[in-house]
Amino acid sequence: MTTAEQLALLGGVPAIEQPLPHEVWPPPADEAELSELARQRNTDISIKGNSGPIGRLEADFLAFLNDGARFAVTFNSGTSALLAAYFALGVREGVDVVGPALTYHAALSPVFALRGDVVLADIDPDTRGLDPKALQAALTDRTKVITVVHQWGHPCDMDAILRIAERHGLRVLEDCSHAHGSRYKGRPVGTFGDAAVFSLQANKAVYAGEGGILVTSDPQVHDRATLLGHYRDRSRDTVLDEDLRAHWVTGFGLKLRMSPFNAIVARHALAAFPARKEARHRCLRHFGEQLGDVPYLEPVHVADHVDMGAWYGYKPLYRPEALGGVPRSVLIEALRAEGMEVGAPSGPRLSTLPLYARPENPLFPGVPKKGIAPETGSHAEHVEQHALSLPTFTDWPGDRTLIGQYAEAFRKIGRHREALVRYAADPSR
Ligand SMILES: *Cc1c(COP(=O)(O)O)cnc(C)c1O
């Protein structure tokens, strides 16, 4: 530290030299991917069954899960796959789904399109996923499905959640959209529940652009989810139950299938995933070590029995009491001035969104719905208001210098705590 050092916010030299963006995702296509896309253009641009790149992606995805599920069905988005999963698990009017209070809304929003209702339960501050004790307390006599989201890549406490599900005869849906490649006690997430969905949207670790994949070992779930989103060939060829298969011409009225181009992109992303995951782990392990001596950060907690898979951003918690009570927004402003790519995570608590908060279902006025009051003092609120969203560095050792500069920017702000407190207190800034 030189005597001349000053916060970049106050006119000093930024700690981070590399211009934004720091997280570049998804990565560009290689020649093999581009030529396969070009070939597909002149072969079949609308696959009605599950042949070609659609079937190959589904088979590769089951192998990726160590064949821990029997069936994989692609959809045009993770949200569509979730809609199909909820339908297949029996969500309808009069049915409650219990899910986490803080997550990406699409994990639960499709429930309302099926006339079901959502009950939110608090999260566990360590996993940032559904807290089993809060789940137990949130069960109603209408609960039929528990949705777990392996939030930001960290698997939920599956032993406890599956025990509750078994005791009460409930179905479990895993939303693995943040958790491609994550493992709980050695077993891949997506193989614990009655069904699991992985979004393959562009921001996700395995990306199609737009797309989603549903996996299950339950033939009834497979058949019903397929019929909801894939009328004609796919239902005729793959629905197992003869009585259900009678609907193959119409399905259950919706067409939610993936395009072959998206399947090709996803298959290449899946093939590239293991090396990218390894690089992310190296980057983020190093980052976590570097941040260990920043007193106003609580580094991301990773339980010993889990593998964080792809990660999904690096999201430590801010401890304002260790930085003179400076608001998170001012900290973010100061970090951005230092050249950092940082923000507050984008998804608010679901109870703050009108679809959840209001006591009527806007799709079906008159269908009973409880409406959710905003919870205060919850872990969900604490994480929502204190998390920082940092890049998921992916290039090892290429990102090493940048990671070092991020850590240095955090330390620099700690050294200038008094100046930042004065800045935050100045109403004229
Ligand atoms: C991205 C995401 C979804 C929705 O997936 P789309 O493919 O964008 O429709 C659902 N749940 C979670 C947790 C997600 O991150």
Q: Is 395 part of any domain?
A: no
pLDDT tens digit string along 322-331?
A: 999 999 999 9
Any atom of ligand 1 within 6 Å of the Cβ of 198: no
- Give the pLDDT confidence of 272-298 residue by residue, as tens digits: 999 999 999 999 999 999 999 999 999
What is the residue range of 163's domain?
42-269
User: For residue 203, how far is its CA from the centre of ligand 1 (angstroms)?
Assistant: 9
User: How many whole angstroms separate alpha carbon 312 and alpha carbon 162?
Assistant: 24
Mean predicted confidence (pLDDT) in 101-119: 98
Q: Determine if ligand 1 sits within 6 Å of the CB of residue 77.
A: yes
DSSP code at position 367: S
CA-nearest residue for atom 7, ligand 1, is 78
Q: Is the pLDDT assigned to residue 60 strictly greater than 70?
A: yes
Judge if the beta carbon of residue 212 lies within 6 A of ligand 1. Answer: yes
pTM: 0.97
CA distance 73 to 248: 16
Ligand 1 contact, 128 CB (< 6 A): no
Instruction: Kindly report the CATH number assigned to the domain that includes residue 90.
Output: 3.40.640.10
Residue 84 and residue 96: Cα distance in Å, rounded?
16
Ligand 1 contacts CB of residue 74 (under 6 A): no
**Any domain includes 53:** yes
Q: How many CB atoms lie within 10 A of CB 24?
A: 10
Atom number, ligand 1, closest to the C-alpha of residue 151: 13
Residue 104 Cβ < 6 Å to ligand 1 = yes
Quick one: pLDDT at residue 162? 98
Task: Determine the pLDDT at residue 2.
Answer: 52
Given a contact cutoff of 8 angstroms between Cβ atoms, the answer to whether 262 and 210 are in contact is: yes
Q: Does 1 score more than 60 pLDDT?
A: no
Please check whether residue 213 lies inside any domain of the structure.
yes
Mean of the pLDDT values across residues 400-412?
97
**Residue-wise burial string across 124-140, b where 16 or more C-beta atoms lie within 10 A, e elsewhere:** beebbbbbbebbbebbe
- Atom of ligand 1 at shortest range from CA of 212: 7
Q: Would you say the CB of residue 178 lies under 6 angstroms from ligand 1?
A: yes
Percent of the chain past pLDDT 70, that is, above it, reads 99
Residue-level pLDDT at 299: 87
**352-364 residue pLDDT tens:** 999 999 999 999 9
Helix or strand holding residue 146 (H, E): strand 143-149
Residue 127: pLDDT band with limits 50, 70, 90: very high
Q: Say how many Å lie between the CA of residue 349 and the centre of ligand 1.
A: 15
Alpha carbon distance 260, 5 (integer Å) = 55
CA distance 287 to 306: 19
Q: Ligand 1 pocket: which of 74, 76, 79 to mutate (most atoms <8 Å of CB)? A: 79
Q: Which atom of ligand 1 is nearest to the CA of 211?
A: 7
| pLDDT digit string, tens, across residues 212-230 | 999 999 999 999 999 999 9
pLDDT band of residue 269 (cuts 50, 70, 90) is very high
pLDDT of residue 310: 87
Whether residue 386 lies inside any domain: the answer is no
Q: Indicate if the pLDDT at residue 241 is higher than 70.
A: yes
Beta-carbon contacts of 293 under 8 Å, excluding residues fewer than 6 positions away, are: 411
What pLDDT score was predicted for residue 3? Answer: 55
| pLDDT, mean over the chain | 96
286 belongs to a structural domain: no
107 found inside a domain: yes
- Of all protein residues, whose CA lies closest to atom 11 belonging to ligand 1? 107
Whether the predicted pLDDT of 429 surpasses 80 = no
Residue 160 lies in a domain: yes
Pocket of ligand 1 contains residue 238 by CB under 6 Å: no
What sign results for the dihedral spanned by CA atoms 61, 208, 264, 310?
Answer: negative
Count of structural domains, the chain: 1
Which pLDDT score, from 0 to 100, does residue 138 have? 97
Does residue 333 fall inside a structural domain? no
Q: What is the tens place of the pLDDT at every residue in 181-213?
A: 999 999 999 999 999 999 999 999 999 999 999
Q: Say what the pLDDT of residue 428 is.
A: 78
Q: How confident is the model at residue 261, as a pLDDT?
A: 98
